[in-house]
Structure 1
Amino acid sequence: MSYCINPKCPDRQQPDSRTVCAACGMALLIQGRYRLLRPLREVDEWGPTDIFAVDDRGTRKVLKLLKQPKLLPLFEREATTLQQLCHPGIPHVDLDGYFTVTTPKGKELHGLVMENIQGQTLENWLAEHGTADSTLAQDWLRQITEILGLVHQNQLFHRDIKLSNIMRRPDGQLALIDFGTVRQMTGTYLAKIGGKRDVTSVVSPGYTPIEQINGKAVPQSDFYALGRSFVYVLTGQHPIDLEEDASTGQISWRHLAPHVPPWFADLIDDLMAPFPGQRPLNAEEILQRLERGLSGWRQRLSPQGVMRLLLAANLCLLLLNLAVGWHWLQRRQSPAASPISTLPGLRSHLTTARPRVHDLSLSHC
């Protein structure tokens, strides 16, 4: 079956044999190449966008269809961003992947066709497999940080990092999706937040930092959401469900993940610091801290590290034995150590009256 692209069509499911919708007269082969197959999420009449699986001359892709013209600037920004960024962790969009079509009643529809990333979101992965161990979480953090590094290098920031926007491919590689809220770090934007003028804010409860809620998002706002995401990965608890310190905004999570090495927990806490200036400056700093932490951990677990630990333990045992031996010797040489010395009268009597017994007792000792 084919699916009509017209949101107002009374009968959107059409036979594959048709090239024009029998219900509304809309072309079913869009731009001469894209045929809609089915919705990838429930079609919402009031939602700003719909998502469809499409066939592009034999290749399965994803179509994002904009239905609300007021969001066109954000939609065009997403298209431009995905066209200019080239990374296996970012959905690929062809240069002609953005298009506009008009319905029979004259309504403009804007579409964006992108790579269909196979796999599942980390949110779905977590629901299926439970919490990730530290090793897997560290690998995931490295992958997403590398992707964010590319985004930030292009003077962009995502503004909606969360587990439902991170895909895990079947080979274990991660991809960051939904660039619909991406923002460019331009002079105009900086002037707006500096002058306290209105800037559209994007809020995902539990993930969004206070400066972004106030319309003053910066690249470090992505790091805050990234830290919150990995608390979710390591604890299985949504950040919004965790206790929060009312004075600092910090969430209490370490007791739920005692398996996490302290250096890694410290890094995650720094990502979630209340103020942007307290967070890592850039993606490179995060990657460096990951590498230092992993190198130190590997060194402690390497054969050389284990040998050093064994040598240190043996040295401690030797020192303990020496201390115990010295203490025993001191007590042995002390006059108070002899039972006879505690009875001076008896010792004198034995010495004068029964020298043989006294000599025998000494030789026995």
Structure 2
Amino acid sequence: MSYCINPKCLVRQNPSDIAACLACGTPLLIQQRYRLVQPLRELDELGQTEVFLTEDQGMLKVLKVLKTPKLLKLFEREAKTLQQLQHSGIPRVEPDGFFSLSIHLVTYKHSLMLHCLVMQKIEGQNLEQWLEQQGPISEAIAWQWLKQLVEILDVVHQHELFHRDIKLSNIMLQPGGQLALIDFGTAREVTNTYLAKVGSGREVTGIVSPGYTPLEQVNGKAVPQSDFYALGRSFVYLLTGKHPIDLLEDPQTGALNWRDAASQVSARLADLIDDLMAPFPGQRPLNTQEILQRLAPDFPSPQKPPSLASPRLRWLIILNLCLFLLQLITGFLWLQAKQQQNWDSYRDRDLPLPAQVQ
């Protein structure tokens, strides 16, 4: 089966062995190499993008089509971002993976310009789908997945970019157990111009995913630490099975009340997640390296007062008590012996005996 790329076509499904769409005549082999095999989400005439599973010389890839010029800047930014980043957890885009295509619309007597982005197909399922099937994750899995995602973000942030739309539906679990971060259409470059806009309060394109997006991003002032907030919220969802938007927030601090719904989580992990999603960017970790340091196995946990229930401490207390009692008894016996010696000395001299110490 081949699909017609023309969004205005009335019958887009075609046999796989023909060169042009039977309904509208649009070539089915795009750029002389790409054939649309099936849509990866429902084809909606009102939608601004369409995504297809695509065959490219025997390999399966993903082709995203932008139908309107309104989002062209974001689309171009996604292509540029993915071409820069090299990581197994980020979809690859070849240098010629972004192109424009003019479709002649016979019925409308004009042409339609489509913008296309071809990228690596990430196998597996997104974590929102996985969570619905498997339920909340254990702490051991949380440590592994958090480290993987922070390492991916480390690559992104080192290129002076940030994602701006981290959420479970944009994280893929691959068959080998590795995670991948997808949908870089909202990624933003940290340029001096962008920082000047944020600092002056001028309008910046806002990307909002309810439950995941921090307040500064809602206000159009996203920063790299905004990714940490969304990452923390994602792990709250994974550990509790509850969407962050369904959990209550502390009315005074703005902190998310989630720990009671994740009894399997240690204080060390919970503290890290709370730090990631602190209400203000300055309260969150400074960068990915700081998070990776806290994820290291030998990173010291916060010191807590030792419990009296500790066997080691209990024996230490007993030992000290025994030593104290031994010293007390020894001192008492020495004092008694000294008094006896004094009495014997006075008796030998026929002197009156001193009063006994009571």
Q: Read off the aligned partner of 1:295 and give its amino acid letter.
A: D
Q: Is 2:81 the counterpart of 1:81?
A: yes
State the alpha-carbon separation in 1 of the partners of residues 316 and 206 from structure 2.
64
Q: Read off the aligned partner of 2:72 and give its amino acid letter.
A: L
Aligned to 1:107, the other structure's residue is in SS state strand
Quote the offset at 1:66 in angstroms.
Answer: 0.5
Quote the offset at 1:248 in angstroms.
Answer: 2.1
Aligned to 2:346: none
State the alpha-carbon separation in 2 of the partners of residues 204 and 31 from structure 1.
35
Residue pair 1:181, 1:202 contacting (<8 A) in 2 also: yes
Larger relative helix fraction: 1
Aligned to 2:220: 215
State the alpha-carbon separation in 1 of the partners of residues 314 and 277 from structure 2.
41
Aligned to 1:341: none
C-alpha distance after superposition, 1:50-104 (max 9, x if no partner): 1100100100011111112110000000001101111000001111111111111
State the alpha-carbon separation in 2 of the partners of residues 313 and 69 from structure 1.
70
What are the residue-to-residue correspondences of 1:216-255 with 2, within 5 Å?
216-255=221-260
Q: Is 2:142 the counterpart of 1:144?
A: no
Q: Read off the aligned partner of 2:123 and give its amino acid letter.
A: Q
State the alpha-carbon separation in 2 of the partners of residues 62 and 285 from structure 1.
34
Runs of 4+ in structure 1 over 4 Å off: 321-327
Q: Is 2:9 the counterpart of 1:6?
A: no
What are the residue-to-residue correspondences of 1:269-348 with 2, within 5 Å?
269-291=274-296, 294-295=297-298, 313=311, 316-317=314-315, 319-320=317-318
Quote the offset at 1:316 in angstroms.
Answer: 2.5
State the alpha-carbon separation in 2 of the partners of residues 279 and 290 from structure 1.
15
Residue pair 1:157, 1:184 contacting (<8 A) in 2 also: yes
Coordinate RMSD, CA, aligned: 2.4
Identity level (%): 61
Unaligned ranges ≥5, structure 1: 299-308, 331-365
Q: Is 2:27 the counterpart of 1:27?
A: yes
Aligned to 2:137, the other structure's residue is in SS state coil
Quote the offset at 1:154 in angstroms.
Answer: 0.6
State the alpha-carbon separation in 2 of the partners of residues 315 and 272 from structure 1.
37
Q: Is 2:194 the counterpart of 1:189?
A: yes
Aligned to 2:23, the other structure's residue is in SS state coil
Quote the offset at 1:246 in angstroms.
Answer: 2.4
Aligned to 1:265: 270
Q: Is 2:43 the counterpart of 1:56?
A: no
TM-score when scaled to structure 2? 0.84
State the alpha-carbon separation in 2 of the partners of residues 18 and 320 from structure 1.
89
Quote the offset at 1:317 in angstroms.
Answer: 3.7
Q: Is 2:128 the counterpart of 1:123?
A: yes
State the alpha-carbon separation in 2 of the partners of residues 239 and 314 from structure 1.
42
Aligned to 2:164: 159
Aligned to 1:69: 69
Aligned to 1:64, the other structure's residue is in SS state strand
Would the alpha carbon gap of residues 297 and 257 (structure 1) be closer, same or farther in structure 2, given more than 3 Å must change? Answer: farther
Aligned to 1:303: none
Residue pair 1:25, 1:104 contacting (<8 A) in 2 also: no
Give the paired residue count: 319
C-alpha distance after superposition, 1:214-271 (max 9, x if no partner): 0000000000000000011111110000011223221101111122111111110000
Quote the offset at 1:295 in angstroms.
Answer: 2.1
Would the alpha carbon gap of residues 157 and 296 (structure 1) be closer, same or farther in structure 2, given more than 3 Å must change? Answer: closer
Q: Read off the aligned partner of 1:30 and give its amino acid letter.
A: I
Residue pair 1:24, 1:104 contacting (<8 A) in 2 also: no
Quote the offset at 1:319 in angstroms.
Answer: 4.5
Q: Is 2:138 the counterpart of 1:133?
A: yes
C-alpha distance after superposition, 1:162-218 (max 9, x if no partner): 010000101100000000101111111111111211111000000000000000000
Q: Read off the aligned partner of 2:30 and give its amino acid letter.
A: I
